[in-house]
Chains A and B, each alone.
Chain A
Amino acid sequence: MGRRTTLDRFGGKATAIGHVRGLGPSHGGTHHWLLQRFTAVGNLVLVGFLVISLVLLPNYTYATVHSWLAHPLPALALALIMVNTFYHARLGLQVMIEDYVDTPGNKLAAILALNLAVFGGAAFGLLSIARVALGAV
């Protein structure tokens, strides 16, 4: 697409160790990479709990689901799922944006919108769980 990458522009001038220390155009990413794995392992446990619970529930009527979600353990698991899956999704969608949105301004806007959406979504979920678990009918 005619884009000149950082490597194209600066590649010839850096020493070998400079290439390593430069960490590429983002100047970071280890933390992102690690958190993607940490949240992945968390999701394995938490969503695993949700999947097994869904199989074991006798039906999915309002009464059944409401009384199940009012118990402390399912409420805790769902609350953690809100934090963990939305964080995992935030990291994954950020990579998608970085790969496919090339214009710097659009990229910033997309990542801004992503952050608002995931925090808003997780907060809505947490509030809904709290409402059920703390007894509002």
Chain B
Amino acid sequence: MLVSILHRVTGDGMAFLALPVLLWWLGATASGPDAYADFAAVMGSIPGIIILVGISWAFFNHMSSGIRHLVLDIGAGYEIETNRRWAIGSVASGLILTAAFWAGVLLI
């Protein structure tokens, strides 16, 4: 049940937060260096970075549980033990991918 709730919350949450941030990023890039500097200042601040980390976790969590949904849609994984393992796996995968993404951003 937790996985289902997280899937909905991260999905609807991204619609309200991640898409506007993405639009601001693109709009600022199209508007020029001054507008981009405003965007970079807000998103580079501590609250901005917390929002970006949250967005990235929401995406990776939603992606992981979404892939689980697609597998369930083809009719696989309904045995209780398997289902339980994949549910836990999708939450773990969301956290691991988020950590890997930020490691990649900082190191590459």
The residues of A with any CB-CB pair to B shorter than 8 Å are: 37, 40-41, 43-44, 47, 51, 54-56, 60-62, 65-66, 69, 78, 81, 85-86, 89, 92-93, 96, 121, 124-125, 127-129, 131-132, 136-137
Contacts and interface: CB of A to CB of B under 8 A. Distances in A.
Interface centre among B26, B32, B69 (most CB of A within 10 A): B26
Contacts of B33: 62
Contact of A93 (B15, B23, B40): B15
Interface string B47-91: 000000000000100010011011001000000000000000000
Contacts of A51: 59, 101
Interface of B: 8, 11-12, 14-15, 19-20, 22-23, 25-27, 29-30, 32-33, 36-37, 40, 59, 63, 66-67, 69-70, 73, 101, 104-105, 108
B30 A96 contact: no
B23 A124 contact: yes
A124 B27 contact: yes
Which 4 A-B residue pairings sit nearest by Cβ, starting from the closest?
A: A55-B104, A128-B30, A89-B15, A62-B36
B29 A65 contact: yes
What DSSP secondary structure best describes chain A's contact surface?
helix
Given A44-B63, A62-B36, A128-B27, A54 B105 contact: yes
Given A93-B15, A121-B23, A125-B23, A132 B108 contact: no
A62 B67 CA distance: 34
Given A93-B15, A96-B12, A137-B32, A125 B22 contact: yes
6 contacts: A43-B63, A44-B67, A51-B59, A66-B29, A89-B15, A92-B12
Contacts of A132: 26, 29-30
Contacts of A137: 32
Q: Specify which of A40, A132, A136 lies most central, judged by the most chain B CB atoms within 10 Å of its CB.
A: A40
A80 B43 CA distance: 24
A106 to B, nearest CB: 17
Nearest to A70: B29
A132 B36 CA distance: 13
